[in-house]
Structure 1
């Protein structure tokens, strides 16, 4: 699409900005970080082992920072960081392929198109209400288990429905991404952020849930209203959509399926659809009750595709071809996650991640006490660009931020909330967040278009987060 735009611009004789490909953006950041390894002093904290909910993790010793010999990343290292990024992001990449394959098979059975058509007919007059219902459910799941990567599964399910109801692919992506982010940020018992941060900070596990619940409700409510406002505007006037060109392709692909969906569903199609729904519910239960991880989710998704394919009447070859097509549809998203991880790989090899957090902490010490909590929030947001993993950020920053909070008069509970907000809200802004960029790829939404949609909401949520931090500090929230 970019090349076509460039040719059109040349023919018209007008200069027009053409958005860079996401790989170009990510490679730019990899090169930039490689250059930083030649400028920023190398330094490290010692790591000490801790155990959280049966999992061993390495936490930094906040008093152990020291300079080490600089290890700048070479030109070859820049290119090696990309395959290394694929290796480190292997679990999420595998799940992405499993999502694509499973839904490729279910779609081939006709169950998705028939189910979407039925829902669209039933909800044609009150279709807008599907957005708050879905977003509350997605936010609640993320608030308790903290798995934002479930957005990768939500989007393929709700995208056809959103288009059938007169919305656009941006609405579908926002319903999944914004809801899971609100839940992940205002977490109640998220073990990857709240649980880990409270253990590191020597704060009672999952204490302060009442105040966090208020944060969760406010963030989720504001997010729902924002998405519904955009969706209503697009439904009234499709020209207001930020992804009109993308949705033309989506609607063309769904056109043949829509024609078939007007026929009466066969027994096989019903069995395929029902089995997929039940097994998907089983997978969500497994994540909630049995703490299933990425590998479990990937295996379950493959089982969903196989079972629904067999019940839907597909022969083994047809099932394999559907899996193959599904893998192809998510290839870009999977590749984005590996390339995005290369940024962190370069910083780790150059030994500058610990240096960045060391100097961030020193800067916060010089901020006036009244805004120290907000300063922590800003610092955590900036660090999230470098380390997008919630648990990864917790084990690096919280051993430093918790004692720093004692020094500057901020309660440790408030410092944990600052970490939650900083880590959570920016997860669907920065291109270094692999799962986020993969979701955009699944929905075929360019990153710059997403920013046009998301930045106002991000600023609103950041302002609300700052207010919550100031209030928490003023009331001495423990």
Structure 2
């Protein structure tokens, strides 16, 4: 069986696969949506006054806001040229994400060419052929645990190409594959039991003992993962029973994938040669090195991309591919995920406009004032909503922590909310929107690799998003009521 990411081009154009009628609204192309958001941001720079906080250098080389230093400054509204260059500047600003997506596509195309992914998926599928729902639940638990410990939800970009052909072969669809990876990693990242990018950094800025309150966060993890697993299994069971009920039932690309993978578990199992075994071992070692680098050495997308290039080259040579064949496989992989990589860059253009127009700090200042005017009983909820809205323009956990927590931490003292609860509100606000807002680069890239249009994903995810918001409200009300502080 061949592993492929060729259907990972975002189907941002459902127009190509779904025939519109006079009664049906045709959802805009994702590029149209993002450019529209850039235009809104540009207009906002003419309406919202510019302002800034002073930054304080931290011991680890980062910088954070001094919450007592906000001042209004001369406006710098975006002009026509700023608007027109927002997309290329966004691509440059998000270059690490763009490169990571391209390299991921290239590496998996090399692995596909060696045949080892096809063999691995075939064996896993045969083992769980009669209990595939259990396999989905186990995979989600594993993915969530990893994200909660190392805080790298971007690993969903690695998971999706591996599980996509397997789940389709077992009778599910691309939405199921995307959901297994994205919902699980989002749940783990949000709970953040030991997440260094949200929990660790947020607690450090709030001057709370790092990784304290782990018991409550474990309960959050259980609630988020449990609800997500039930939700995904419910959809998966429905699609397997009747594929016409799936969100991609009328998608031509999805139909092509079903035809490609439908009989893969019926045919004779592929033979695994000595070269295949050595290549598989080299792949496992490569991924172990990457995980070690992420956890212990602070590696991120650039370093991960470098490791992926190394994996592609080494594994390809071991499996018997020529340098030319490896290069051509990388090239095909680059082409297949190019649109998804560009979406990540275009989405970054929104933040570029807000930053250049110097209204980002003004927005933070306004959010802080709005929360400070809320009743004490609802203060933690106000923090959560504020963080969720701010996640739209800064979908980076560490970036959002550095911008908002210096404001929310002292504000929590004024509102009689414990700083531990303020950090939890930040975690909920940052995490739940990461797989909803189109400004989230890794999320849009993951949908691209899975071949799931964003608008279809929104229809799938909104009920779970609402349930997760309900869970967040309950935890925040309870922790505020009991004065939770570790």
Q: Same fold (TM over 0.5)?
A: yes
Query: Per the alignment, do residues 260 and 334 of structure 1 end up closer, same or farther by CA in structure 2, a change over 3 Å counting?
Result: farther
| C-alpha contact 1:117 1:261 (8 A) present in aligned 2 | no
State the Cα distance separating 1:359 from its structure 2 match.
Answer: 1.0
Comparing 266-275 with 365-374, greater Cα deviation is found at 266-275
State the Cα distance separating 1:292 from its structure 2 match.
Answer: 2.2
Q: How many residues align?
A: 471
Name the residue aligned to 1:33: 41
Structure 2 residue 406 is the aligned partner of structure 1 residue 399: yes
Name the residue aligned to 1:454: 461
State the Cα distance separating 1:282 from its structure 2 match.
Answer: 3.0
Query: Per the alignment, do residues 335 and 4 of structure 1 end up closer, same or farther by CA in structure 2, a change over 3 Å counting?
Result: closer
Name the residue aligned to 1:158: 163
Write out aligned runs for 1:292-303 (5 A).
Answer: 292-303=299-310
Structure 2 residue 193 is the aligned partner of structure 1 residue 182: no
SS where residue 56 of structure 1 aligns? coil
Cα distance in structure 2, aligned partners of 1:3 and 1:97: 25
Cα distance in structure 2, aligned partners of 1:412 and 1:30: 34
Cα distance in structure 2, aligned partners of 1:290 and 1:33: 36
State the Cα distance separating 1:279 from its structure 2 match.
Answer: 2.0
Query: Per the alignment, do residues 9 and 86 of structure 1 end up closer, same or farther by CA in structure 2, a change over 3 Å counting?
Result: closer
State the Cα distance separating 1:426 from its structure 2 match.
Answer: 0.7
- By percentage of residues, which structure has more helix? 1
Write out aligned runs for 1:377-456 (5 A).
Answer: 377-456=384-463
SS where residue 427 of structure 1 aligns? coil
Structure 2 residue 237 is the aligned partner of structure 1 residue 229: no
**The one of 196, 205, 219 aligned to 2:201:** 196
Cα distance in structure 1, aligned partners of 2:323 and 2:380: 58
Structure 2 residue 29 is the aligned partner of structure 1 residue 21: yes
C-alpha RMSD over aligned residues: 1.8
Q: Structure 2: 5+ residue runs without aligned partners? A: 1-12
Name the residue aligned to 2:318: 311
| C-alpha contact 1:373 1:415 (8 A) present in aligned 2 | yes
Higher relative contact order, structure no. (Cα contacts within 8 Å, ≥ 6 residues apart)? 2
| C-alpha contact 1:106 1:273 (8 A) present in aligned 2 | no
Name the residue aligned to 1:75: 80
TM-score, with normalisation over the residues of structure 2?
0.93
Deviations 1:18-57 (A, max 9, x none): 1211111100000010001001111111111112xxx311
| C-alpha contact 1:144 1:189 (8 A) present in aligned 2 | yes
State the Cα distance separating 1:274 from its structure 2 match.
Answer: 3.3
Cα distance in structure 2, aligned partners of 1:100 and 1:424: 25
TM-score, with normalisation over the residues of structure 1?
0.95
| C-alpha contact 2:121 2:162 (8 A) present in aligned 1 | no
| C-alpha contact 2:420 2:484 (8 A) present in aligned 1 | yes
Name the residue aligned to 1:44: 52
Name the residue aligned to 2:4: none
Q: Structure 1: 5+ residue runs without aligned partners? A: none
Cα distance in structure 1, aligned partners of 2:422 and 2:482: 14
| C-alpha contact 1:114 1:261 (8 A) present in aligned 2 | no
Cα distance in structure 2, aligned partners of 1:182 and 1:343: 26
State the Cα distance separating 1:428 from its structure 2 match.
Answer: 0.5
| C-alpha contact 1:43 1:66 (8 A) present in aligned 2 | yes
